[in-house]
Amino acid sequence: MKKMVILISGNGSNLQSILEACESRRIKGSVSAVFSNKANAYGLSRARAAGVPTHVLSVSDFSDRESFDLQLIKMIEAYTPDLVVLAGYMLILSSAFVSHYQDRLLNIHPSLLPKYPGLHTHRQALKNGDTEHGTSVHFVTNKLDEGPIVFQAKVPIFPSDDEKAIAVRVKHQEHAIYPLVLSWFIEGRLTMREGKAWLDNKLLPPQGYARK
């Protein structure tokens, strides 16, 4: 059975959706371990409740980010994962980390990339008067929130919305699309080759999968 290691920093609602998808066999793989850079991340409790080993690694215990990431790689490697999944992991990864997990590192970002990389995406969408927003699952490369997009889900923004309302709507979509994309990878249907994302050996378009 293929194995995933998941990196979080906070609430872990996406982690929860992945754990549940494994439990119900929508993802035919398992979560071997959850790592957090924050000891108080609620996602750690979710992992423990599911019987998944957890580890906390604090940046402040290391002299620099490179040595932090090297230790993280070392600890992750103990689980020999097929896939490393970023699920609300709030640290920017070193190029050593990204290279080590090249082609098997996925992230979910709460915007319709390439729009709004980085932080406060909902705030920016509101400020700009957008009527549409969303979330993107993508392979990770060395450029922040770039890397080939696998799947996007769109949500409307209504005039009465605040950031919180948008975040709830976006997360609802995230909990549906992230497990689906992970299931594709676990089944060998989704790959990254030559810096591009492929599904069933078909090159995915720039905005990711779209049902025809």
Active site residues: 109
The type of residue at 173 is Q
Classify burial at 36, counting beta carbons within 10 Å of its beta carbon; exposed 0-12, middle 13-18, buried 19 or more.
Answer: buried
Phi, psi of 191 (to 5 degrees): -140, 160
CB of 24 to ligand GRF, least distance (A): 18
Tell me the C-alpha distance between 37 and 7, whole Å.
8
CB of 11 to ligand GRF, least distance (A): 4
Tell me the C-alpha distance between 142 and 199, whole Å.
22
| Alpha-carbon separation of residue 91 from 32, 38, 97, 129, 145 (angstroms) | 21, 10, 12, 29, 12
Nearer Cβ to ligand GRF (23/77): 23
Nearer Cβ to ligand GRF (87/204): 87
**What residue ranges bind ligand GRF (CB under 6 A)?**
10-15, 43, 87-88, 108-110, 135, 171, 174
The answer to whether the beta carbons of residues 31 and 18 sit under 8 Å apart is yes
Nearer Cβ to ligand GRF (15/76): 15
Nearer Cβ to ligand GRF (13/37): 13
Across the chain, the runs of DSSP E, i.e. the strands, are 2-8, 29-36, 54-56, 83-86, 105-109, 132-139, 149-156, 190-193, 196-199, 202-203
CB of 122 to ligand GRF, least distance (A): 9
The residue number with the shortest CB distance to ligand GRF is 88
CB of 63 to ligand GRF, least distance (A): 27
Query: CA nearest 108: which of 137, 128, 84?
Result: 137
Nearer Cβ to ligand GRF (70/167): 167
CB of 201 to ligand GRF, least distance (A): 28
